[in-house]
């Protein structure tokens, strides 16, 4: 897996700690490099020239300079006295004729000019600080400053760097603890709450409000979402309960309907049997009535004909199909004068007897 993808898959807290560690390391490195560069620049631009000037003034003492330009041995002896000066990288003494009498080297040997006439051209190509000191008796002393910082500087820089590193690590630990308390732990609690809600399907759980920051706003939004889900769940539960109740009621109605249908089927069967028997009995009764030697007429409460036998047809001359459901005074005209007696009989449910009725038929 590439490093970038691994960094992207790290938790938020570890990303912040890694970014903080990189930031502290970068600041430490930049600070050390800046400090060393500044010290080197100060050494080259200020300290080394000042040291060379001090050494030059010291050697420009007439008592010392007279001995230095006298012979190469004296010049070597004088330069040996400068061997203990750490800012000095190289030195050379030139006599009055411009010849180099002696030279001093610290570290790798430098190509010093052999004659005084070549000093100016050599100095134009030399990046180190140089100092040309005139000596009595027309001699000259050429001093070259060292470009290297003293060991004490590196030791002090290393000590300061270690101190800054220790302080940075302690600061990183303190900030890491605060990040864990303020960012990582609230996110972990919110993640654990979401897992618990998913696992238990308990939407009544709520996250702590916490601080008034983005994580707190996220927790509030999560609580709002849980509240809406809980309300939706309750609505769905009520809908399921109502659906179950409606289903149970429908099942009961269906069972009652099936029971009622069975009862209706039985009643239809019984009614069919009764109707068959009544139809047979009616036919039997009609046969008896039709076979009677007397006219038999039945009326309803409105005096409409409901029963009419053959003898009634013979006496009135009105067929059965014309007489049924007709007023009696139309079906049997001779009974029209007796309508009041018929009404009284129907209303009072009494028997009225008329001895003799006569009418004209076929002349």
For 9-23, 97-111, 221-235, 344-358, which range has the lowest pLDDT when averaged over its residues? 9-23
pLDDT (tens digit, 9 = 90+) per residue, 98-107?
A: 888 788 887 7
Residue 66 forms part of a structural domain: yes
| Backbone angles phi and psi of 298, in degrees to 5 | -110, 140
Residue 63 forms part of a structural domain: yes
d(CA 61, CA 56): 9
Residue 224 forms part of a structural domain: no
50: pLDDT strictly greater than 60: no
Label residue 72 exposed, middle or buried (CB < 10 Å: 0-12, 13-18, 19+). Answer: middle
45: pLDDT strictly greater than 60: no
Q: What is the DSSP string of 101-130?
A: EEEEE-SSPP---SBGGGHHHHHHH--S-E
pLDDT (tens digit, 9 = 90+) per residue, 14-39?
A: 667 777 777 777 877 787 777 666 66
User: Over the chain, what is the mean pLDDT?
Assistant: 77
Q: What pLDDT was estimated at residue 47? A: 45
pLDDT (tens digit, 9 = 90+) per residue, 291-312?
A: 888 889 999 888 899 888 888 8
Please give the residue range of the domain that contains residue 337. Answer: 297-348
The two three-digit tokens of residue 75, written as one number? 């010049």
Residue 50 forms part of a structural domain: yes
How many domains, in total, are found in the chain?
Answer: 2
* CATH code of the domain covering residue 20: 3.30.450
pLDDT (tens digit, 9 = 90+) per residue, 152-176?
A: 556 766 777 777 778 777 877 787 7
Consecutive H or E run containing 142:
strand 139-145
pLDDT (tens digit, 9 = 90+) per residue, 122-133?
A: 878 776 777 777
Cβ–Cβ contacts within 10 Å for residue 90, how many? 23
Last residue of some domain: 95, 127, 152?
152
């Amino acid at each position: 897996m590439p490093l970038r993808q691994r960094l992207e898959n790290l938790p938020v807290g570890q990303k912040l700690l890694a970014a903080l560690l990189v930031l502290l390391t970068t600041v430490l490195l930049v600070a050390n490099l800046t400090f060393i560069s500044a010290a080197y620049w100060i050494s080259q631009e200020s300290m080394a020239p000042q040291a060379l000037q001090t050494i030059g003034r010291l050697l420009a003492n007439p008592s010392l300079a007279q001995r230095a330009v006298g012979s190469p041995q004296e010049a070597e002896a004088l330069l040996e006295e400068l061997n203990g000066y750490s800012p000095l990288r190289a030195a050379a003494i030139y006599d009055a004729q411009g010849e180099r009498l002696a030279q001093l080297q610290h570290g790798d040997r430098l190509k010093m000019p052999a004659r005084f006439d070549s000093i100016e051209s050599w100095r134009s190509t030399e990046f180190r600080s140089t100092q040309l000191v005139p000596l009595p008796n027309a001699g000259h002393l050429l001093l070259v400053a060292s470009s290297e910082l003293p060991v004490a500087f590196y030791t002090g820089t290393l000590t300061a760097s270690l101190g800054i590193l220790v302080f940075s690590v302690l600061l990183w630990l303190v900030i890491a603890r605060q990040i864990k308390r303020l960012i990582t732990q609230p996110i972990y609690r919110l993640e654990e709450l979401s897992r618990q809600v998913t696992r238990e399907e308990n939407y009544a759980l709520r996250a702590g409000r916490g601080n008034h920051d983005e994580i707190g706003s996220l927790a509030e939004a999560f609580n709002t979402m849980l509240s809406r889900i809980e309300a939706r769940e309750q609505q769905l539960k009520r809908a399921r309960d109502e659906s179950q109740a409606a289903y149970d009621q429908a099942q009961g109605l269906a069972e009652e309907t099936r029971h009622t249908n069975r009862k209706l089927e039985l009643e239809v069967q019984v009614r069919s049997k009764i109707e068959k028997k009544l139809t047979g009995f009616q036919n039997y009764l009609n046969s008896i009535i039709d076979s009677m030697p007397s006219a038999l007429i039945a009326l309803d409460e409105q005096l409409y004909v409901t029963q009419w036998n053959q003898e009634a047809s013979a006496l009135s001359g009105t067929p059965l199909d014309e007489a049924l459901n007709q007023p009696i005074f139309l079906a049997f005209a001779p009974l029209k004068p007796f309508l009041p007696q018929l009404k009284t009989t129907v209303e009072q449910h009494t028997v009225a007897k008329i001895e003799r009725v006569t009418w004209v038929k076929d002349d």
